[in-house]
Structure 1
Amino acid sequence: MKKILLSAFLACFSLTISAQDYEFTTTIDLEATPVISQGNTGTCWSFSASSFLESEIIRLTGKQIDISEMFTVRNTYPKKAWNYVMRQGKAQFSEGGLAHDVMNSVKSHGLVPNSAYSGLKALQERHNHAEMVSVLKAMLDVYIQNPGGKLSSNWKPAIENVLDVYLGKRPESFTYEGKTYTPQSFLEMTKVNPDDYVTLTSFTHQPYYTSFILNIPDNFSNGSFYNVTLDELVAATKNALKTGYTVELDCDVSEATFSAKYAVATIPEENVNSRKDFSAEIRKEKNITAAFRQQEFENYTTTDDHLMHITGMAKDQNGNEYFRVKNSWGSNTERIPNDGHVHMSEAFFKLKTISVMVHKDALPKALRVKLGL
């Protein structure tokens, strides 16, 4: 009887332990600007990379500046349009993009604060690009059909005019904190050098320690990625955070186990088929290998669908480490009843990360040598 009672007690105790909800303690909390919403747009790439640059500006200058996400968006659409037209419509034209598109814009056009270019019209409080993108694509499709028999260059100023109508004309100069700047002189003031940033990924279909163009739909600008081992990808990200550098993240958040509501992203051993079946309850996670990661990428289970900003790390009550990730879906709403951050487990990061962008000085020295940086 005692053995039966003891077994029953242990079973109940084990059930209680397994039914615990996550409790996180932040271990690294690097400086970042407040969480804001990207609204009804697919411009997470600009919001996340702008947040990343804002943390870099804090690190480099001590200044907290609200960078204009829409200035970058406005600069990038003509390049998307060019790619779409020159490929005769056999390419994607959408709201999506990647972190290096922000860096390309910074290098070519500089930076401006949000106060100088918000991309919002009078009385408009929330970004909504649905109509604008539909108009742009419809125009481009007509030009590609070439009804005049010979494609002229008229489509270029036409696209520029539409962008000006919806987002506003780009400022040639502006005043910030009592001083007049151009976008390039403002960039110089921030001390950001776009050439200092590198993008890392980890896939087995390309040799390690080389750079290659990753074939994903949003890589319209053919950006290059440095390929490293999966363990090195994790180690490089942790090294950056531990040495004071935040990290830009491109990943897949379509999984039912990515929960903005519960502020957690994990890969449980058992399958979770819908978000309504997921909770903040601690579950044992899968062991993620490079082979499994590659398989899930090649069968479209892992896709490039969202970019965010890693600003720190945390631990749960069992001592497991998580990346603290700043999202761009807002905060303290019915959908997101928290501060707009998500605690991402190492398993989720290994499986669902497409790439990370970091300052090259944030990389471990041994990895920099391997990459020739």
Structure 2
Amino acid sequence: MSEPKRIVIVGSGLAGAGAAAELRERGYSGEVLVLGSETHRPYELPPLSKGLLLGDTDEPDWVRDEKFFPAHDIDLRGGVTATRVEQEERFVLDANGDEHRYDRLLLATGSRPKRLPVPGADLPGVRTLRTLDSALGLREAFRKADRVVIIGAGWIGTEAAAAARKHDAEVTVVDQAELPLRAALGDEVATVFRDLHTEHGVTWRLGAAIDEVTGDADGVRGVRLGDGTELPADVVLVAVGAAPRVELAESAGLELTAADGGVAVDAGLRTAAPDVYAAGDIASHFHPRYGQRVRVEHWANAKNQGAHVAGNLIGENEPYLRSPYFFTDQYDLGCEYRGLADPATDELVVRGDLAAREFVAFWLRDGQVSAAMNVNVWDGGDELQALVDGRVGVSAQRLREADLGELV
């Protein structure tokens, strides 16, 4: 496959901007154009719900410093929204009516927060968290609020709860699930997170449905639950997940997957359309390690897929093999998660002390390590990665007792 003269990247987040930077670092000398709807220069998302929301920093982690893109002849255009891809003519049309021709195209359009399908969901004071501006606005709202209601007990919801408590707001978290993070971690490990937040003053309303967000044009007043309970609130954060931004791909005729709604790509992040690739949140990637499609919305996936797809854009044909990875920091708990578990069916093995919140959790599937999560335990990260990547076969007893290095 010959090297293209012009590569267009739609999406200026970590996957798209990271791919552009990697192209130059691999010595690509052709034209690189990055189109992004945001006006800020490219930044990473994790600090938005962590350090920035907590007030520990006023800036995100930038993908590259301010001078990098012009210095490396990368045409980065912020505030430009792509509206159509014409495959046959090989161009991207933007909202201003400008056409941007490409030899190869990367779609890295990311995700948007899901909306709450109840009355009052659009009232002033109802917020989501996805962008730098939304994080700064939410932090200021937390500082001023007496009472915060967070709808959704996933990673964003629980991290935001920790931040709101740091800003001395009363916090109630509502979710239909019986435990926070239950789908990702299963009951036993999810209970650790529930108890952690309870100890820090968070009130839980679990197993609860939302009927309405109450208020008027002057702002939100509260949340009404399915049982009629009224939760007063100055701020309501909706954190019920994210949806991939696939409208551009869909209108271009690219295949979307029924299971996760992402853009279908092969092991090398290529779509079925000639010279069109997808990476990051939108990519439903056929993962050779798992033998199935995987769509991951975490930071490491965007970073690593963006860097990887750069090589394939300029002629390589390498499969993307990395295991999913994410991390969280909540109060005095920090953890890293590697792999892809199904807590409903995988066997949980705990090494350490759940009550002390110092442990490593493993998930076994057919006697092999499908995932591992270290909580406030910082030794052995390489060994955990190797156990997950290698789908190492091991007994539960040895996972609890043996030296990790001996298991790899």
| Normalised TM-score (structure 1) | 0.25
Greater helix share, structure number: 1
Higher RCO, Cα 8 Å, sep 6+: 1
Greater strand share, structure number: 2
